[in-house]
Amino acid sequence: MATETNCINKSEVVRKILHEIGAVSENPPKNWRTSVEERLSKQKGDDGKPMKMAEVTIYQIRRKEINKKSGKNSKKSGKSGKFSRIESLVEVKKFADTLGGLDQLEQAINFLKQLG
């Protein structure tokens, strides 16, 4: 017998927010990530506490939504070679900026290496 649950899917909430603020595009509005985090924190989870989600997860959800919108497979963008690597590096640089710069990113990577 199947039971109905009232679980809130945080990824679905983030997808909805991304579409509402117009962040599912190659040129999203400035401070889109902050806007997503603020709106997400106003939502209550199953436990009644404000929802939180890691920045990386928000970026991944956004990237998948962009790929869906453009008809690309989220695993394989269809781009190859040098352009794909440059585009990836630009994304890494943007993420590094959200952490406070490349030195902060390097510290985070070193910490992750220590974890195993």
User: Tokens for 81?
Assistant: 């070679």
Rg (CA), the chain: 17
Full-model pTM = 0.54
- Integer distance in angstroms from the first to the last C-alpha of the chain? 42
How far is the C-alpha of 97 from the C-alpha of 90, rounded, in Å?
Answer: 11
Annotated domain spans of the chain: 7-75, 79-116
Task: Name residue, tokens 């030195």.
Answer: 103
List beta partners, residue 20.
none
How far is the C-alpha of 49 from the C-alpha of 84, rounded, in Å?
Answer: 40
Q: How confident is the model at residue 85 (pLDDT cuts 50, 70, 90)?
A: confident
- Express each pLDDT in 9-64 by its tens digit: 888 999 999 999 998 888 888 899 899 999 999 988 888 889 888 889 999 999 99
How far is the C-alpha of 76 from the C-alpha of 74, rounded, in Å?
Answer: 6
Does residue 73 have a pLDDT over 80? Answer: no
